C-alpha cells in the first residue's frame, strides 16, 4: 500500500493578495480550453479546413459553453443561490454543470459553423477530442475546491476532505471516494480511444457526427458510474439523480446514432 490517502490542498488559490486571488479551478479551465483549441486546429487541418477558423469557433463556443454550464448548475442546485443570487456570477468558486457545457457549447459551435460555412456535426467531431481532454484537466479543479467527492472510503486512494467541506452527516469522516480522480482517469481513457482508435478509423469513412457521438457515449457511461458514487445534494427523480437521467438519455441517443453510422461505413481508401 503506497498511500494512506490523497491529501487535499490547503488552499483553492494559486495565489491570493488581499481579497484578490486566482483559483486553481479557473486556471485549470483556461488550460483545458487552450489544449482543446490546439487539438481542434489539428482536426480542422485533417479535414482540409482553415485552422484559423478555430478561433472563430472558440469565440462563440467557449462563452456559450461556460454560460450554459453555469445556468445548468444554478437550475439544478438553486438552493445554493436562493439566499445570495450574486453568487451566480462567481464561477471561479466552482459550479459548472457538464450537460450545460455540452448544450451551450453546441449552440455556440452551431453559430460558428454557420458563419464559417462548415457542416455543424463535422465541427462537433473536431471539438470532441479536445473537449474530453479539457475535462481531464478541469476535473482537478474539484480537488482543489474539495467538492463533488463520493461517499466515505478507507481505500488507500481515498481523498482527505477538510471538515468545513464535509456534509453534516459525515462531519466526523475524514476520507472519501475521489470521484474527481475517477472521472479524470476515465476521461483520459476516452481521449485515448478517440485519438488512437475512433478518429483514425472513421473520420473520413463515417457520416459527420460519429466522433462526437462516440465521445458522448463513452463519457456518458463513465459519468453514470461517477454519479452513483457522489454524495453532494442533488434533485432526485424516481430514485435517480437528475444527472443520471440526463446522461442516461445521452448514452442511449449517442449509441443509436453511433450504431447506425458504423453500419454504413464507407470502404477504406486504398
Q: Is the pLDDT of residue 104 over 60?
A: yes
- Measured in whole angstroms, the distance separating CA 169 from the mean position of its chain's CA atoms is 28
The pLDDT confidence band at residue 64, using thresholds 50, 70 and 90, is very high
Instruction: Please check whether residue 8 is in contact with residue 110, taking contact to mean a CB–CB distance below 8 angstroms.
Output: no
pLDDT attached to residue 91: 63
Average pLDDT (128-147) is 96
Average pLDDT (109-115) is 98
pLDDT attached to residue 243: 92
99's grid cell: 450537460
Q: Is the pLDDT of residue 134 over 60?
A: yes
Residue 148, CA atoms < 13 Å, CB-side half-sphere = 26
Buried b (16+ CB within 10 A) or exposed e, 195-226: beebbeebbeebbbbbbbbbbbbbbbbbbbeb
Q: What is the pLDDT of residues 234-267, one digit of tens each?
A: 888 999 999 999 999 999 999 999 999 999 998 8
The pLDDT confidence band at residue 77, using thresholds 50, 70 and 90, is confident
Q: By three-state DSSP, how is residue 1 classified?
A: coil
Q: How far apart are CA 44 and CA 239, in angstroms?
A: 43
Q: Choose the weakest-confidence range: 86-90, 109-113, 238-242, 264-268.
A: 86-90
Average pLDDT (165-182) is 96
The pLDDT confidence band at residue 3, using thresholds 50, 70 and 90, is low
Q: What is the pLDDT of residues 27-57, one digit of tens each?
A: 999 999 999 999 999 999 999 999 999 999 9
pLDDT attached to residue 73: 77
Q: What is the residue-averaged pLDDT of the chain? A: 91
Q: How far apart are CA 38 and CA 127, in angstroms?
A: 10
Highest mean pLDDT among 5-9, 112-116, 239-243: 112-116
Q: How far apart are CA 248 and CA 233, in angstroms?
A: 19
Q: How far apart are CA 189 and CA 209, in angstroms?
A: 20
Average pLDDT (158-171) is 95
Instruction: Please check whether residue 130 is in contact with residue 35, taking contact to mean a CB–CB distance below 8 angstroms.
Output: yes
Q: Is the pLDDT of residue 1 over 60?
A: no
Q: Is the pLDDT of residue 196 over 60?
A: yes
**Extents of the domains making up the chain:** 13-200
Instruction: Please check whether residue 55 is in contact with residue 69, taking contact to mean a CB–CB distance below 8 angstroms.
Output: no
Per DSSP, the residues of 120-135 read: HHHHHHHHHHHHHHHH
pLDDT attached to residue 19: 75
CA distances from 70 to 39, 65, 107, 193, 222 (A): 25, 9, 15, 29, 22
* 111 vs 268, residue with greater confidence: 111
Q: What is the pLDDT of residues 143-155, one digit of tens each?
A: 999 999 999 999 9
Q: What percent of the chain is modeled with pLDDT above 70?
A: 91
Amino acid at each position: 500500500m503506497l498511500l494512506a490517502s490523497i491529501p487535499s490542498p490547503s488552499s483553492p488559490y494559486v495565489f491570493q493578495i488581499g481579497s484578490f486571488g486566482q483559483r486553481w479551478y479557473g486556471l485549470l479551465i483556461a488550460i483545458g480550453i487552450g489544449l482543446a483549441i490546439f487539438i481542434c486546429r489539428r482536426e480542422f487541418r485533417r479535414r482540409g479546413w482553415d485552422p484559423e477558423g478555430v478561433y472563430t469557433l472558440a469565440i462563440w463556443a467557449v462563452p456559450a459553453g461556460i454560460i450554459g454550464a453555469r445556468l445548468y448548475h444554478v437550475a439544478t442546485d438553486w438552493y445554493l443561490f436562493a439566499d445570495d443570487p450574486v453568487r451566480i456570477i462567481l464561477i471561479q468558486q466552482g459550479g459548472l454543470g457538464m450537460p450545460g457545457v455540452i448544450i451551450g457549447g453546441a449552440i455556440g459551435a452551431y453559430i460558428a459553423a454557420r458563419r464559417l460555412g462548415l457542416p455543424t456535426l463535422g465541427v462537433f467531431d473536431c471539438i470532441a477530442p479536445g473537449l474530453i481532454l479539457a475535462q481531464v484537466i478541469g476535473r482537478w479543479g474539484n480537488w482543489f475546491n474539495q467538492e463533488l467527492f463520493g461517499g466515505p472510503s478507507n481505500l488507500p486512494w481515498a481523498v482527505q476532505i477538510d471538515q468545513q467541506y464535509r456534509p453534516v452527516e459525515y462531519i466526523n469522516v475524514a476520507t472519501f471516494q475521489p470521484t474527481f480522480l475517477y472521472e479524470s482517469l476515465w476521461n483520459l481513457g476516452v481521449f485515448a480511444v478517440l485519438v488512437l482508435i475512433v478518429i483514425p478509423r472513421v473520420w473520413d469513412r463515417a457520416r459527420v457526427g460519429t466522433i462526437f457521438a462516440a465521445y458522448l457515449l463513452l463519457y456518458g457511461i463513465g459519468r453514470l458510474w461517477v454519479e452513483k458514487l457522489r454524495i453532494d445534494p442533488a434533485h432526485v427523480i424516481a430514485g435517480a439523480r437528475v444527472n443520471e437521467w440526463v446522461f442516461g438519455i445521452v448514452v442511449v441517443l449517442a449509441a443509436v446514432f453511433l450504431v447506425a453510422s458504423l453500419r454504413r461505413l464507407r470502404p477504406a481508401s486504398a
